Amino acid sequence: MTKPQKNTMQLDELDNNFAKAIAKAGGEKINLCIQCGTCSASCPSGRRTAFRTRQLIRRAMLGFRDETLSDKDLWLCTTCFTCLERCPRGVDPTDVILALRNMAVEAGHMLDQHKRVAGYFVKYGHAIPINEETRKRRANLGLKEIPPTTHKHKKALDEVQDITKKTGFDKLIGFKWEKGKK
Amino acid sequence: MPNRYPGLEAATRNVAEALGIDLLDIEGASCCPPPGVVKSFHRPTWLAIAARNLSLAEALNADATTLCSGCYGTLKDANILLKKDAAMREKVNKILHDYNREFHGTINVKHIVEVLYRDFGVEKLKNFVKKPLNLKVAVHYGCHLLKPTEYRTGESAERPKLLDELVEVLGARSIPYRDKMMCCGAGGGLKSSSPDVSIDMAKEKLENIKKAGADCIVTPCSFCHLQFDRGQIDVAKQLGVTYDLPVLHYVQLLGLALALDPEKLGLYSNAIPADPILKKL
């Protein structure tokens, strides 16, 4: 038998410091929100999904830390900044979402597809690395086969990789150096 | 961009040459990094890598330009943030010093469209047009060229004009269409995390653009370009709808008006053939 769904919360289950933590992580103005819903009404992603920016912000303000950070809908924002431009209170919802995403990744809720892209970045210095086909196309277009980037300069790639170690990005995304390094 | 759409790189280099604009390569640059993904994951890494790229451009003593609004968003935002926040700058420079680099804050970051509109100038551009384009163009601004407006250059986010003016000076007509200012759906890591939602957004725009009777779509961004160009192949495969709308980056459209060879503008490396518009010219 399925358990009845719990629909009440005890106040002590909420994280009272969550909004403060979001503010510190870059969503400084979250507390200015008056729940008018201009953000949800402006959202091209919410037009076709259950993603509701207003709800996300409300839940975060109330202190539903785990529910907010583990919610996959957090990743439905395209960062188009329409809500940020239109918010009458200057909450900068896009910045709140980016702060929440940083916190979600920190809490271990990173999507596999994103780990892959981030891994490419650490490995090649490019989120989309070059391949044989593109090299040929570049040559056919009269371009240098290898672009003058980390693809061409080994030292530059070393620097970029070293920076990702210093900031802890490699560990954060679970990058395996022995596998990743050529 | 050099790895996904080298045709756009070729178009930019050839157009710049025709206009007498000197482009310098930022040797050793990395991915900007992408604002939608790396900034979503870890802001300090996003900022440090962006600062490194900016410091390379500073060493060339030239403003940085890009034809992707995502790269622009990262470099532009990071440049402004680091210029105004001394504590943040110090933190980032502490990392960069290990490689004998430093962010000084001596240059500006400009989107290629801005360079053409503000620095080169629409009037001057007019004099270079050799072949006025008899085309109906659906202008797609995308998001990060204009927003957040606080960190951009004063253009309205709801009713901007610069790209329409740049298109019309080439003899083409910028046609109105429903939800013109809507996002293409590619950004924010959505294309990798939820390709179905992402492509549904592109489809909505394509639908509106087709209904308005456009000959082609013009974007200022290589990621929007990818979303509409290769995205049409995905829409056809997954949803069974075809639009056959050629997608051009603004530099490609400009190149046509300068009477450059379509091949040199990378028009044959787009997924959707540009032949219908080439025939019309």
CA–CA–CA angle A72, A63, A17 (5° rounding): 120
* Per-residue confidence (pLDDT) for residue B269, from 0 to 100: 87
Which two three-digit tokens encode residue B51? Answer: 């600062």
CB A85 within 8 A of CB B148: yes
User: Reduced to 3 states, what is the DSSP secondary structure of residue A154?
Assistant: helix
Q: Which residues of chain B have a CB within 8 Å of the CB of A113? A: 192-193
Task: Determine the residue of chain A that is closest to B269 in CA distance.
Answer: A137
Cβ contact B3–A150 (<8 Å): no
What is the β-pairing status of strands B216-219 and B173-174? unpaired
- In tens, the pLDDT along B223-243 reads 999 999 999 999 999 999 999
Do B142 and B36 form a contact (C-beta atoms < 8 A)?
no
Hey, are the CB atoms on B31 and A126 less than 8 Å from each other? yes
Q: Which tokens hold the place of B66? A: 């890009």
Contact B61, B83 (CB under 8 A): no
Percent helix / strand / coil, chain A, rounded to 5: 55, 0, 45
Residue B218: phi and psi, rounded to 5, are -120, 130
Interchain contact B200–A (C-beta under 8 A) = yes
DSSP helix/strand/coil, A109 = coil
Return all residues near B174 (Cβ < 8 A) that are at least 6 apart. B137, B138, B139, B163, B164, B167, B168
In this complex, the residue of B7, B147, B158 whose CB is nearest that of residue A141 is B7
Task: Decide if B29 touches A, using CB distance below 8 A.
Answer: yes
* A98 interfaces chain B, CB cutoff of 8 Å: yes
Pairing outcome for strands B216-219 and B136-139: parallel
- C-alpha dihedral, B140 to B142 to B148 to B152, nearest 10°: -60
Q: What is the pLDDT of residue A179?
A: 65
- Spatial contact of B248 and B232, defined as CB atoms under 8 Å apart: no
Give the mean pLDDT of A22-50: 97
CA distance A65 to chain B (A): 17
Task: Provide, rounded to the nearest whole percent, the portion of chain B with pLDDT above 70.
Answer: 100
Q: What is the pTM of this model?
A: 0.95
pLDDT at A4: 73
Residue of A53, A97, A160, A164 best to disrupt the B interface, most CBs of B under 10 A: A160
Distance from CA of A38 to the nearest CA of B (A): 15
Q: What is the pLDDT of residue A182?
A: 41
What does chain B look like in DSSP terms, one character per residue?
-TTT-HHHHHHHHHHHHHHT------TTB-----TTTHHHH-HHHHHHHHHHHHHHHHHTTS-EEES-HHHHHHHHHHHHHHHH-HHHHHHHHHHHGGGT--------EEEHHHIIIIIIIHHHHHHH-SS----EEEE---STTT-SGGGTTS--SSS--HHHHHHHTTT-EE---TTTTS--S-TTTHHHH-HHHHHHHHHHHHHHHHHTT-SEEEES-HHHHHHHHHHHHHHHHHH-------EEEHHHHHHHHTT--TTTTTGGGSSS--HHHHHH-
Q: Report B:1-20 residues touching A (Cβ under 8 A).
A: 2-4, 6-7, 9-10, 13
CATH 3.40.50.11810 residue window(s) in chain B: 121-280
Cβ within 8 Å of residue B80, ≥6 positions away: B151
Average pLDDT over residues A37-60: 97
pLDDT tens digits, B31-63:
999 998 999 999 999 999 999 999 999 999 999
Domains in chain A, CATH or no CATH each? 13-106 (1.10.1060.10), 112-180 (no CATH)
Per-residue CA distances from B212 to A73, B139, B182, B217, B272 (Å): 32, 12, 15, 11, 19
Which range among A127-141, B113-127, B161-175 shows the weakest confidence by mean pLDDT?
Answer: A127-141
ipTM of the complex: 0.95
* Identity of the amino acid at B60: L
Which residues 6+ apart lie within 8 Å of B244 measured at CB? B232, B272, B276
Task: Please report residues of A whose CB lies closer than 8 A to that of B45.
Answer: 163-164, 167-169
Which residues in chain B have Cβ-Cβ distances shorter than 8 Å to A169? 41-42, 45
The answer to whether the beta carbons of residues B167 and B219 sit under 8 Å apart is no
Interface contact flag, A84 B147, Cβ < 8 Å: yes
Which CATH code is given to the segment(s) B121-280?
Answer: 3.40.50.11810
Alpha-carbon span B83 to B102, nearest angstrom: 12
Indicate yes or no: CB of A75 within 8 angstroms of CB of B189.
Answer: yes
Mean pLDDT of B209-224: 98
Picking from B218, B140, B230, the residue whose alpha carbon sits closest to that of residue B177 is B140
The helices-and-strands tally (H runs, E runs) of chain A is 11, 0
Q: Quick: pLDDT tens for A63-78.
A: 999 999 999 999 999 9
Tokens of B105: 């804050």
For the segment B185-209, the average pLDDT, to the nearest whole number, is: 96
What are the pLDDT digits (tens) for B83-107? 999 999 999 999 999 999 999 999 9
Q: 3-class SS at A48?
A: coil
Contacts of B4 (CB under 8 A, 6+ apart): A128, A134, B222, B226
Asked if the C-beta of B213 comes within 8 angstroms of chain A's C-beta atoms, the answer is no
Query: Mean of the pLDDT values across residues A158-173?
Result: 97
Look at strands B173-174 and B109-111 and give their pairing: unpaired
Q: Report chain B's mean pLDDT, rounded to a whole number.
A: 96
- 3-state class of A84 per DSSP? helix
pLDDT digits (tens, 9 = 90+) for B131-188: 999 999 999 999 999 999 999 988 999 999 999 999 999 999 999 999 999 999 999 9
Residue of B nearest to A167 (CA): B45
B147 close contact with A: CB closer than 8 A:
yes
A146 interfacial to chain B (CB closer than 8 Å): no
